[in-house]
Amino acid sequence: MALHDGRVVIVTGAAGGIGREHALEFARQGAQVVVNDLGPAEAVVEEITAMGGRAVANHDDVSDWDAAGSLVQTALDEFGDLHVLVNNAGILRDKMFVNMDVDMWDAVMKVHLRGTFCPTKHAVAHWRAKAKAGERVHHPRVINTSSPSGLYGNVGQSNYGAAKAAIAAFTVILADELARLDITVNAIAPSALTGMTAGLHDYVEKMKEIKATTGFDAGSPANIAPLVVWLASEEAADITGRVFNVKGGAISVAETWTAGPGVEQWERWDPAQLGAVVPKLVADARPNSDGSGKPRAESR
């Protein structure tokens, strides 16, 4: 029996890249898939039907409130239910901050952050209504898409990184809020060669080198799908509120912000005191990570 026999899955931004691979792998695992994208989602639907699966294309804008509701309704109308929502849709508007305009900022926030909120809100409303009606919700899942840029930072992506960091926080908070409904919420921070990363010369060259020396296509977006498909399955019932780094054959848990070295006194601090305190705290703390999640001192 496949992991998702009889289950219904929505994948946003699924016409190409990582989203396409999600949709195909869910179909291989028995799911009925709503392939959402503003672009030509029909090609992915054809691939799924050619392998004997069931899928439908949907072109609703996930960042539009009513359209996101229509997206969820498409799953219900076409397949009779919804079990999994994968929020994958995204865009880039990379620019150094001093050259970034407000439209670049707003566009990225709209697609990534609002485009995660709107479908999730409609999906959760459906699952909550079923639970209140006494119907068993069959392992509902939300899988969000963060990024190493949001977790660890990347020059030239203050808009994208801020949106992806917010999605990671959204994931952790929502997991706690929805636990009573047995809805799990997790996220991935993927790295792969797609249209969105084609301009990252050093990364592209590194992936080519790995493939040439090992034979493994570490940059393929197909490497991301297995973890997402597993997190969306019944087997992952005890995993929630987590963000996973995934690239090539590597999977790791991204650990959230934690309180590091600190001091405390039972009176208000005088700013004049802090010159002898704060530099030592920073010196004792772990360094910020580089783009791969390793402490910057280790990557030099």
Give the pLDDT score at 155.
94
Residue 215 to residues 21, 154, 162, 205, 206, Cα–Cα distance (Å): 20, 29, 35, 15, 13
The model's pLDDT over 211-265, given as tens digits with 9 standing for 90+, comes to: 878 888 889 999 999 999 999 999 999 999 999 999 999 999 999 889 999 999 9
Give the pLDDT score at 105.
98
Give the pLDDT score at 196.
67
Tell me the whole-structure pTM to 2 decimals. 0.93
Q: Do the Cβ atoms of 207 and 194 come closer than 8 Å?
A: no
* Residue 160 a catalytic site member: yes
Residue 46 to residues 41, 243, 299, Cα–Cα distance (Å): 9, 32, 44
Tokens representing residue 134 in the block: 């006494």
Kindly write down the DSSP assignment for every residue of 59-95, as one continuous string. Answer: ---TTSHHHHHHHHHHHHHHHS---EEE---------
- Choose the CATH number for 8-254 among 3.40.140.10, 3.40.50.720, 3.40.50.1580, 3.40.1350.10: 3.40.50.720
Domain layout of the chain by residue ranges? 8-254, 260-300
Give the pLDDT score at 299.
44
Catalytic residue, candidates 105, 117, 152, 160: 160
pLDDT tens across the length of the chain (300 residues):
799 999 999 999 999 999 999 999 999 999 999 999 999 999 999 999 999 999 999 999 999 999 999 999 999 999 999 999 999 999 999 999 999 999 999 999 999 999 999 999 999 999 999 999 999 889 999 999 999 999 999 999 999 999 999 999 999 999 999 999 999 999 999 999 876 666 665 666 777 877 878 888 889 999 999 999 999 999 999 999 999 999 999 999 999 889 999 999 999 999 999 999 999 999 999 999 888 788 876 543
